[in-house]
Amino acid sequence: MKVPTSLSTAFDENFQNLLAEVATADGLLPSAGEIQAKRFLSRSVAPHVQRLTELFNRIGSENPESGLEKYWKKGSNPENLRLAYFLSFMPGNLYRTAAVWSELHRLGFRWQTENFRAVEFGAGPATGSCGILAGESHSPCGLPKASNFALIEQDRKTLQLGEKFFDAYRKHLELPDFSTRTFHRKLSLKQGWLPSSAPTFHLWLMSYVLNEFHESTEELAISLLKGWRNHLEPEGIAILIEPALRLQSRRLLEIRQQILAHDQGKEFQILLPCLGHQSCGALSDPEDWCHEEVSWWRPPYLRLLDEMTGLDRKTLPFSYLVVARSSKPRESILPALEGAKTTHRLVSPAYQVGGDYEFYTCGTQDGKRRSRLKRTNDELSRGSILVNGSPRGDPKATRIDQCDRII
């Protein structure tokens, strides 16, 4: 994944000031200046950040009772808890969503609709929807002016914060007058993702949601397919973002496999990051998993908060999946892949070894493998795509003699 510089540096003091204004107006900050006050951050924010980090890392563990829901409801100070999430976790998750949007832009994806309806599940403070705003601002995919975002969240006050933040961030980015609708609702697979009377949407967005469900990957895949068939527009897409931890990442890969098994390519296509419907190479090794990693310039206050909590978020790992409801050829959806009979995406950094680059790839035909390519003048890094490469050698260690181009 290659994020444009303008996006990776967009979370500067102006973004920090915006967060401070929104949090102060919502009563979460005593004053805007407190966002960089060491005493306030160390007493009122950092302890919650550390506790939330522990709980987030335990979601999906062998003990399904992570304690997260209890902590949300019975924390010693709910306002400071919401503030800790808003300041510490929301910006990085927003950026992750924006990075996925920028990858769609990089490969030529464009919306062909006069109006646009998106739904975000487990929206929190409109984290993913604001990530779409950031992505569209720096890597436009052609959102029309008539765009609406439905926000579904189980915590009412967080939902209200998200509504305010979305509008403030839209103005900050000088985007059109996109609108929101809010729905206070707890998600349940038994009840379905949406009521039967709900409309259809062009974008189905889930950021750090599936990891909170304990149903099997097959149950989740079947439920998603049912929801998409009922509520995702033709030519619409679903974006799923999950943690980069091995267990959660592998669950997302298994959901992908179950989607393919139950749909059999009749209605849906896997667009990213896989660029195809091949068997997942990472799943063949029980110790392996697949994740992306993006770098950014953290807001000044977040650097300070990271120092206090011992976190290092200069780079942000995550797992993701983009699914399209379309029967069009892949190159019609992602024009940058026109003429690509095979693709190999780098899923690791590229290291210089003598006159070669060495890296791991995942391809449309052969899963994950270690590869080498003669050094070229083209930039080669994690996320690069080798089009029509010709690998040879051992299935687990190959040389790619040439390729038509590098994206």
Residue 67: predicted pLDDT: 45
Tokens of 363: 């391809």
CB-based contacts of 107: which residues, under 8 Å, 6+ apart? Answer: 272, 334, 335, 336, 337, 407
Q: How many residues does the chain have?
A: 407
Domain boundaries, the chain: 5-336, 339-406
Tokens of 371: 């590869």
Looking at CATH, the fold of the domain delimited by 5-336 is given as Rossmann fold (3.40.50)
Residue 1: predicted pLDDT: 84
Tokens of 357: 């680059």
- The Cα 154–Cα 157 span in angstroms is 9
Q: By the 8 A CB rule, do 270 and 278 touch?
A: no
Residue 366: predicted pLDDT: 56
- The Cα 235–Cα 201 span in angstroms is 10
Give a three-class secondary structure readout of 317-373.
EEEEEEEEECCCCHHHHCHHHCCCCCEEEECCCCEEECCEEEEEEEECCCEEEEEEE
Residue 371: predicted pLDDT: 82
Q: Which helix (H) or strand (E) holds 209?
A: none
Looking at CATH, the fold of the domain delimited by 339-406 is given as OB fold (Dihydrolipoamide Acetyltransferase, E2P) (2.40.50)
- The Cα 359–Cα 284 span in angstroms is 19
Closest CA to 26 of 76, 88, 86: 86
- The Cα 344–Cα 369 span in angstroms is 10
pLDDT tens track of the chain, all 407 residues? 889 999 999 999 999 999 999 999 999 999 999 999 999 999 999 999 988 887 777 654 444 444 445 555 555 567 788 999 999 999 999 999 999 999 999 999 999 999 999 999 999 999 999 999 999 999 999 999 999 999 999 999 999 999 999 999 999 999 999 999 999 999 999 899 999 999 999 999 999 999 889 899 999 999 999 999 999 999 999 999 999 988 999 999 999 999 999 998 889 999 999 888 888 877 877 888 888 999 999 999 999 999 999 999 999 999 999 999 999 999 999 999 999 998 888 888 888 888 888 888 887 655 667 788 887 777 788 889 999 988 787 766 688 878 889 99
Tokens of 127: 């984290």
**Torsion angle in degrees (nearest 10) through CA of 156, 158, 164, 168:** -160
Residue 373: predicted pLDDT: 84
